[in-house]
């Protein structure tokens, strides 16, 4: 229900945009990190250690930025979802009709008649 109507369209676009970015950035970050580490290993064996240290630092920076973006994005969307859950609660309490109390006496007792709305949750 939240995905169908999360509120403003901006929130929906942000969620789908972040999902698309996550699907593209995750393989790219993985491949880039693997290539950097592979190059660092090759430079340690055959070439200068300074280039290997630079490639390792580049890998660490790449994954740090990727993890930071992922955590911030996930936290943002969790906060939006929790706010939506807090403000969009629709609950109907169904009181079973008793066999010995007529419907006109239920209204006198203050028991509301049950009307169902398609957006309400029945508990």
pLDDT, block means (10 residues), the chain with 123 residues:
65 84 92 91 85 91 93 91 79 71 51 54 57
Is 0.75 topped by the overall pTM?
no
Judge contact between 32 and 62, C-beta under 8 A.
yes
33 vs 30: CA distance, rounded Å: 5
30 vs 99: CA distance, rounded Å: 66
pLDDT of residue 68: 95
pLDDT of residue 108: 47
Sign of the torsion formed by the C-alpha atoms of 61, 63, 64 and 65: positive
Residue ranges covered by each domain of the chain = 10-88
Buried residues in 78-101 as b, exposed as e (16+ CB within 10 A)? eebeeebeeeeeeeeeeeeeeeee
pLDDT of residue 88: 74
* Cβ burial, residue 2 (10 Å; 0-12/13-18/19+): middle
43 vs 59: CA distance, rounded Å: 14
């Amino acid at each position: 229900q939240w995905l169908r109507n999360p509120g403003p369209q901006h929130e929906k676009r942000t969620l789908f945009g972040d999902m698309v970015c996550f699907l593209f950035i995750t393989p790219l970050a993985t491949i880039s990190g693997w290539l950097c580490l592979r190059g660092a290993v090759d430079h340690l064996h055959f070439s200068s250690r300074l280039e290997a240290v630079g490639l390792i630092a580049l890998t660490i920076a790449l994954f740090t930025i990727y993890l930071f973006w992922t955590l911030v994005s996930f936290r943002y969307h969790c906060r939006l979802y929790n706010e939506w859950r807090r403000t969009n609660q629709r609950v109907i309490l169904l009181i079973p009709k008793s066999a010995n109390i007529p419907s006109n006496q239920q209204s006198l007792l203050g028991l509301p008649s049950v009307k169902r709305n398609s957006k309400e949750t029945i508990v």
